[in-house]
Amino acid sequence: MIAIDTNLLVYAHRESSPFHGKALEVVTELAESPALWAIPWPCLHEFLAIVTHPRIFDPPSQLAEAWKFLDALLESPSLLVIGEQSGYTATLRSLLFSSKVCGPRVHDARIAAICLNHAVAVLWTADRDFSRFPELNTRNPLIAGQR
Alpha-carbon span 112 to 118, nearest angstrom: 10
**Taking the model in full, what pTM does it have?**
0.94
**2-139: CATH superfamily:** 5'-nuclease (3.40.50.1010)
Which pLDDT tens digits describe the chain residue by residue (147 residues)? Answer: 999 999 999 999 999 999 999 999 999 999 999 999 999 999 999 999 999 999 999 999 999 999 999 999 999 999 999 999 999 999 999 999 999 998 989 999 999 999 999 999 999 999 999 999 999 999 999 997 655
Domain ranges for the chain = 2-139
Q: Say what the pLDDT of residue 147 is.
A: 59
Q: What angle do CA 66, 23, 69 make, to 5 degrees?
A: 20
2 beta partners: 37, 122
